[in-house]
């Protein structure tokens, strides 16, 4: 019966809050909200209750909830909102939680909850070792060894922040809508910016995946890692590179589900 329990997973990022409803291991519904530190917990509760009931879901029928946040001011607001709507405590991803993965970095407490969720999700869903490329507010790549251990992380600017920086700091470069470039030989300003950003970030991902793969192989007997892409902008990059073997836009939510099962769902 345990595999049929219904839980709510909440992943609060700098730009968006992703919510997923799981029945057992199946993601049956998902939603997105804008991250807004000016909202009250009551306002978040109203939005959450509305999203669930519009999908025909009874909030008080959930068996639990789990939340990860990289936005400290918003985290307590969401915890109160979720607990109020579901009538149950909300498990928070924090230091000391049983993840099943050793974090091999200088200061494990520095690793964001979002990266922990991605590492747990990847280890639970794909063959190890695995490299995850996350294209969100920041561009983050993380490597999970066969042990499994979070062996290391690389963080670069996000695609949208890079575009915003270009237009803000270069007087003659406009704000642009991102789209897949048809050529690297841009013949106007917009085409040139799209080519530079999209092909550039694809190249960044390819180089970092190559470096991480080499180091994982040296440390782990030559095993070739699985490469997974996630994040809101993965579709844009996926069209111009073949470095990714899997595309998993809900990887963090699956990581949250696995963390709930490991810590609260026994």
Strands 64-69 vs 90-92: parallel, antiparallel or unpaired: parallel
- In DSSP notation, 36-103 reads -TTS-HHHHHHHHHHHHHHTT--GGG--EEEEEES-TTTHHHHHHHHHHHHSS-EEE--TT---SSEE
Longest dimension (CA), the chain: 61
Strand partners, 130: 144, 226
Indicate the DSSP class of residue 110. G
Among 105, 92, 101, 107, which Cα is nearest to 120's?
101
How far CA 9 is from CA of 45, 97, 148, in Å, comes to: 15, 16, 23
Joined tokens for residue 207: 């180089």
SS3 state of residue 105? coil
Q: Say whether 106 is catalytic.
A: no
Which of 11, 42, 54, 114 does the annotation list as catalytic? 114
What is the C-alpha to C-alpha distance for residues 35 and 77, in angstroms, rounded to an integer? 11
Residues with a known catalytic role: 114
């Amino acid at each position: 019966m345990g595999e049929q329990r219904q839980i709510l997973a909440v992943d609060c990022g700098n730009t968006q809050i992703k919510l997923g409803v799981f029945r057992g291991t199946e993601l049956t519904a998902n939603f997105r909200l804008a991250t807004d530190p000016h909202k009250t917990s009551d306002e978040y509760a109203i939005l959450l209750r509305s999203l669930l009931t519009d999908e025909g879901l009874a909030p008080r029928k959930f068996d639990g909830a789990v939340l990860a946040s990289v936005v400290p001011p918003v985290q307590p607001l969401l915890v109160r909102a979720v607990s109020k709507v579901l009538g149950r405590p909300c498990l928070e991803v924090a230091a000391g939680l049983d993840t099943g993965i050793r974090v091999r970095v200088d200061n494990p407490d520095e690793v964001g909850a979002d990266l922990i969720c991605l590492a747990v999700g990847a280890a639970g869903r794909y063959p190890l070792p695995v490299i995850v490329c996350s294209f969100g507010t920041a561009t983050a790549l993380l490597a999970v060894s066969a042990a499994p251990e979070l062996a290391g992380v690389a963080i670069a600017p996000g695609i949208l922040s890079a575009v915003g920086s270009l237009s803000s700091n270069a007087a003659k470069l406009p704000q642009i809508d991102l789209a897949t470039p048809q050529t690297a030989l841009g013949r106007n300003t917009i085409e040139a910016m799209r080519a530079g950003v999209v092909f550039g970030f694809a190249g960044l991902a390819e180089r970092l995946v190559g470096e991480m793969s080499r180091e994982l192989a040296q440390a782990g007997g030559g095993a070739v890692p699985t490469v997974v892409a996630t994040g809101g902008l993965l579709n844009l990059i996926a069209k111009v590179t073949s470095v990714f073997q899997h595309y998993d836009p809900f990887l963090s939510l699956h990581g949250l589900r696995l963390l709930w099962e490991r810590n609260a769902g026994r």
